Amino acid sequence: MPAAEALLPARPAAFLWHYVRRRPLLFGTLGLLIVAGAACSVGVQYGMKLIVDAMALGDRHSRAIWVWLALFIVLIAAESLCWRLGGWLGCHAVVATGVDVRLDMFRHLSGHSQDYFSRHMAGSLGNRVTATAGATGSILGTLVWKILPPCVDFVGAVVVLWTVDVRMALALAGFVAVMGVVLARFGRRARPLQQRFAEQAAQVGGELVDVVANIWTVQAFGARAREHRRLQAAFGLEAQAQRRSWLYLEKVRAAHDLCLWLMAGGMLAWVVQAWRAGEAMPGDVVVVSALTFRILHGSRDLALSLVDASQQFGVIADMLQAVAVPHEVADGAGAAPLAAGPGEIRIEALRFAYPGQPAVFRGLDLHIPAGQRVGIVGPSGAGKSTLLRLITRTADPDAGRILVDGQPIAQVQQASLRAAIGVVPQDVSLLHRSVMENLRYGRPQATDAEVLQAARDAHCDGFVRALAQGYATVVGERGARLSGGQRQRIGIARAMLKNAPILLLDEATSALDSRSEGEIQRALDRLMRGRTVLAVAHRLSTVAGFDRILVMAEGRIVEDGPPQQLRGAGGLYAQLWAMQAEGLETG
């Protein structure tokens, strides 16, 4: 499996570690700076103790006071320097990781099959990718700036308290250990609630995008109020999941605050009593007070950060379950590029069924010599478009195999297979970019002259130049600013520009009027010369001049031959031809 298609880690912690390992020096240096900054902060508290102890001795001319004061000032400056350098490195590390996450998620998401996308809303998938990048950056930032420093503070406090009273150090370590175990158990119990909230948020986001993307349908059917009520119910479910997660974690935080209050009060009472008994210096009281309150506030921030990190882990876990799943159609290990050839297609014992539905093909065999133009006709549901899908390998058959120029397509790289096939679908979808960019999508390295020639051949040039900005006009989402016929002409021009040896046409002229269809048909005739062509057609006139017609019914080829021969055979093709001819005469 190529590195670009490697599976993403299946667990959130492994997912994060995967990105940390990409920049070990950057994250390692960042971690050292943050540890050093937090250690300097603890050192500042200890420096204050040394100053107070020196002052308590009563020698106003002691040089030790100035020495400890100088140490105190140096530690403050070092702490600030570490934090600022850490902030600079952290900016580069976290932002770059967010870019990596989104690119990796897109690369993996774009490798899924068409069936996968039919099962998931595009808005929901997009929201998951964006939310995962945000969650990854949030967790990394939380770990570096909000979780690591309190942990260093705790270690430093134990070390400092060890110099004051070993029992205090052991008591603090024991208390924090017990509290950590309890919080970890509560965190595990909260994880399902947080993941449920992430799932609901992604679902609601997807439904909102779906409604906005289909706003014409909503307005045309007067469904604004209906969709408002539907979204209100969906938002209510999301809010309920969020409240459950939030309130559970508030209980954990309340218990945490109570425990810390008891710990802080106990430590202060302990050191004050030790001072009264002559077992502690005034500086010990100062440092224990400072460290206790620092740990109190730091631990509260730590608890809040752990809560936030736990929620973000839920977002990543939801994404991993929905997006980072193995591809249903994937390149095999060691798959080689398709060797260039004239475009021969052979299908052997093909069996295929959509999940939960009856079989479309049951042992289909077919041979299409290179350069032959083949029309595929028949009633709806016969398997015509499915056959094209299987040839382009947007789905894999359940049994049998398909060969292009003698090479099983399951054993070659998908990108190289599709580079050898030009496709014009029934519903041409354009990107929200300029006309020129959409045309050049067929062959990015094409010159402007080649693009313009393809546009003229597909009869696009006239209407494109009439647009407000000509070829620079942005076509809108999915090409919404163009008519169906205009979009289809651009789709044909893209296929012309691609200049692939195999051409698949799925109702390529269905959205055109009779005059436009005639013009495009002449352009297609030029395009099809010397190429292997498979054209699905409901208008039999569009394939009447082809070399061969396949008539399909219920997943089988029931007639196969030149169109003139089939018209005189009195079979299904002749019936379909007669029905369409009668319809034209009636019209």
Beta-carbon contacts of residue 551 (< 8 Å; ≥ 6 apart): 377, 378, 557, 558, 559, 560, 566, 571, 572, 573, 576
Structural domains in the chain, CATH included, are: 3-322 (1.20.1560.10), 345-586 (3.40.50.300)
305-308: long-range contacts (C-beta < 8 A, 24 or more apart)? 305/142, 305/146, 305/147, 306/147, 306/183, 306/187, 307/249, 307/252, 307/253, 308/138, 308/142
β-bridge partners, 402: 347
What is the structure's pLDDT at 134? 87
Distance, CA of 272 to CA of 437 (rounded, Å): 76
Contacts of 210 (CB under 8 A, 6+ apart): 121, 122, 123
Model pLDDT, residue 586: 45
Q: What does the alpha-carbon distance between residue 550 and residue 543 come to, in Å, rounded to a whole number?
A: 11
Choose among 476, 533, 543: nearest CA to 509: 543
Contact in structure between 490 and 435 (CB atoms under 8 Å):
yes
Residue 59 confidence (pLDDT): 61
List the chain pLDDT tens, one digit each, 587 residues.
343 455 678 788 889 999 999 999 999 999 899 989 888 887 777 777 777 767 666 566 667 777 777 888 888 888 889 988 988 998 889 989 989 998 898 888 888 877 788 787 777 788 788 888 888 988 898 888 888 888 887 788 778 777 777 887 787 777 777 776 776 666 666 667 766 776 777 777 777 777 776 776 777 767 778 888 888 888 888 888 777 777 777 777 777 777 777 777 777 777 777 777 776 676 667 777 777 767 766 666 676 677 677 778 878 888 888 888 888 888 888 888 999 889 999 999 999 998 888 899 999 999 999 999 999 998 888 889 899 999 999 888 999 999 999 999 999 998 899 889 988 887 788 888 899 999 988 888 889 999 999 888 888 888 899 988 999 999 887 777 888 788 888 888 888 888 889 999 888 766 566 666 676 777 777 778 788 999 998 888 888 889 999 999 988 999 999 999 998 888 888 888 888 766 544 44
Q: Is 101 helix (H, G, I), strand (E, B) or coil?
A: helix
pTM, 2 dp: 0.70
From CA 78, how far away is CA 71, in angstroms rounded?
A: 10
- Indicate if the alpha-carbon torsion angle 214, 215, 216, 222 is positive or negative: positive
Q: Which pLDDT score, from 0 to 100, does residue 2 have?
A: 41
- Gap between the Cα atoms of 391 and 505, Å rounded: 12
Predicted confidence at residue 4, as pLDDT, reads: 41
Looking at residue 526, its pLDDT comes to 73
Q: Cα–Cα distance between 463 and 491 in angstroms, integer?
A: 14
At which residue do the structure tokens 């030029």 appear? 526
Dihedral class, residue 299 (left if φ above 0, else alpha if ψ from -120 to 50, else beta): alpha
The pLDDT score that the predictor gives to residue 184 is 65
Identify whether the C-beta of residue 535 lies closer than 8 Å to the C-beta of residue 376.
Answer: yes
